[in-house]
Amino acid sequence: MKLGRWRTYALAVLASVAVGASIGLAVVYCFKFPEINNLESYRPISNTLLYDDGGHIFGSLALERRVIARYEDYPKVLYDAVLAIEDNDFENHPGFKLSRVVSAAYRDLVTGEKVQGASTLTMQLARNLFLSPKRTFSRKIEELLLAVQIERRLTKSQIFTLYANQIYLGHSIYGLATGAEFYFGKNVKDLTIEEAALLAALPKAPNIYSPIQNPQLALSRRNLVINAMLTTGRITAADAAAAKRKPIELHIQDDPNSLAPYFVEEVRQYLERKYGVEQSHGGGLRVYTTLNAELQRAANRAVLDGLCAYDQRHGRSTPVPNVSDFGADPETYSALEWKRPIEVGSYVHAVVMSVSPSQVLLRFGSYSATAPESDVAWANDSTCRLRVGDIVNVKVLSIGPGYSSRAHIEEGSEVQGALLAIDNATGGVKAMVGGRDFSDSKFNRATQALRQVGSSFKPYVYTAAIAQGAMPDDTIVDAPITFKTASGPYSPHNYDEKFEGTITLRHALAESRNIPALKLAESIGIKNVINYAHRFGITGQIPAYLPVALGAVEITLAEHTSAFSVFPNDGVRVVPHYINKVTDYDGNVLEQSYADVQDVIDSRTARVMTSMLREVVLHGTAVAANQLKAPVAGKTGTTNDFTDAWFIGFSPTMTCGVWIGFDEKKSLGLKETGARAALPVWINFMKAAIGKRGSSDDFLPVPQGRVLVTQTTGDRPPMPQSQTSESEGHQW
């Protein structure tokens, strides 16, 4: 009896709904909703795309991760999958199906739940564009009325395109084209039946049916879509059976900014300052940058290889996390990075599956890996013994059949590194690494860290001397000396605690002798040296005391590297920049950069200094760079107590700087010089840079003979003590 009364009540309510809907439809056809007045020109929030110097997208800025596609970009198989599961009668109805609305309302009244279901594709679009997701009768009516207006204004293809670009698919992914790229690493046009079905399965509950978080639920839902495609006649039984037999195969794509996160962050900050947050992230800007993707990959690999080499020399100094810390099991633990393509030479986190005196077994994704013999002893060492479930960083050494591989376990420490590469001719930044891992630390050690530069500052001292008449073959005495300074007597020493007597300036710079550099600075005047450093683009405050000549001054890697580009650039500095051009979504140019060229030193001084810095590579502290078999030059730098290691060097076409150190100013360890810690990173990067450009270019020839100085900046150097002929040089 009670059930009968409920049914009577439900039917009365449904009748009221029907009457209300009829009245509402009359209203719809008489009036227009202001929310959809501009629907024809509506464009979803569009990502700002970042292009490298070859015109390829390498990053984006987004409030939502979304790729905008056209109707013709969506393949029929995806169109069919969406309609089969969401709205099979989409092409025929006027925006709603009254029978579905009434049926859903009756079910909800009987069960006592909030109204749900019954939404057509057009109604879903109306809800996503204009309404809240809150489930109420009034919202459902609004949804229906808006859907009718949308159908009156737009074609079915326009409606589907808006829906396909707007729908949420989980993991901050919006739009079916974005979903194809993120989940499968392919263009939406290339989707297979089972891939299209998986994307169509997600809008109902993206988090519940996520193939990353819940693969079994995702598989069941995908197969449900395939069955719907079969029952609606959109695919054959054979196609459906074949598609359902296939497992879900994901090729999760990297965070679009993972190639060059520190570079992207620099670009983001600039765009937000100039265009504001909303336009920078959602206005669909197209930003054409100076970055070279190939060189950036080389930079990433070079820095990580260098840091891991340091770790191997000094052992692990950071704790190893274990999957048990997250309440996980080694057999079932999964990491998002494992969904991405894994290549030989890449670095990835792996789970330790077993440790024995004879071998270490690891797992990352579908791969089972063994560690080389050298790692087995380390893993069993009592001071750092690995346990089952430990998460370690490994370098993939080889990949074999059946997902077998070999991987070297990296020991890990808190040491950091940075690299910056600049195109000499344009000033464009081609590669930037600001630290070991952007996800762990956003601090950019290439642009933000002020660190003492050590002997890599000496070229500014020698430049001041050469500019005022000195020649590379002039001699200077490398011997014990005490300088009188404002703070008292100063008795410096050389790195090797030895003195070489009378040597040439060329040799003194090549071997990074401290005493000659200090004597030159005192003769020229330390203020004059500082003036030259500022002319090179060093903007920070530099105290006027003698130890500055040995690099007792803090400079960023970005400024230091840019300054060195003056030498191969024949005395001019092209101000570094990241962006070549910015356009709006429609292609209108908002800004375009042009080279900002600054005269720093005359071409003779630049060429002489280039030849002297070339000597550093040929016979000096950077002799290891000779393996490049190409014209390169530069200067090592090491600070007191081996706190900072530097190498700033250049080829005729590119200047690159490398810094290695800890964030807190502590020693890298005995003999961790610029030549040992930083130079190998520079060499590995420059192999890629020179290989890309070729080694046919050479430095410009050095002018012959001594040039009479008629004008100087700051204090003049002393007159030579002895000079018999121009070719013999003079003594300082």
Active-site residues: which are they? 86, 455
Q: Is-contact 309 377, C-beta < 8 A?
A: no
CA quadruple 375, 376, 378, 380: dihedral, nearest 10 = 160
φ and ψ of 428, to 5 deg: -70, 135
Strands (E), 150-230: 173-174
DSSP alpha helix (H) spans, 66-135 = 76-86, 98-111, 121-130
DSSP labels, 598-620 = EE-S-HHHHHHHHHHHHHHHHHS
Residues shown for the chain:
732
Mutual orientation of helices 137-153 and 2-30 as an angle, nearest 10°? 30
Q: Is 655 exposed, middle or buried (0-12, 13-18, 19+ CB in 10 A)?
A: buried
Give 233: exposed, middle or buried? Use CB within 10 Å, 0-12, 13-18, 19+: exposed
CA 394 – CA 346 distance, rounded (Å): 8
Q: What is the rounded distance in angstroms from the CA atom of residue 54 to the CA atom of residue 183?
A: 25
* Residue 483 phi, psi dihedral angles, 5° rounding: -95, 140
Nearest-angstrom CA–CA distance, 572 and 597: 7
CB 389 within 8 A of CB 352: yes
Q: Could you tell me whether strands 173-174 and 65-66 are parallel, antiparallel, or unpaired per DSSP bridges?
A: parallel
- Per DSSP, the three-state class of 657 is strand
Q: Rg of the chain's alpha carbons, rounded to an integer?
A: 34
Calpha distance 15→21 (Å, rounded): 10
Phi then psi for 206, rounded to 5 degrees? -55, -35
490 — phi, psi (to 5°)?
Answer: -130, 115
Contacts of 457 (CB under 8 A, 6+ apart): 533, 548, 549, 550, 551, 553, 555, 637
Whether the CA torsion 607, 612, 618, 622 is positive or negative: it is negative
Q: Which residues on adjacent β-strands are paired with residue 464?
A: none
Residue 442 token pair: 């956003």
Write the DSSP assignment of 464-509 as a string of letters: HHHHTT--TT-EEEE----EEETTEEE----TTS---EEEEHHHHH
Give the whole-angstrom CA distance, residue 403 versus residue 406.
10
User: Is the separation of the CB atoms in 509 and 620 below 8 Å?
Assistant: yes
Q: Supply the angle between the helices 526-535 and 458-467 in degrees, to the nearest 10.
A: 100
Is residue 115 helix, strand or coil? coil
Identity of the amino acid at 377: A
- How far is Cα 372 from Cα 405, in angstroms, rounded to an integer? 11
Check if the beta carbon of residue 250 is closer than 8 Å to that of residue 186.
no
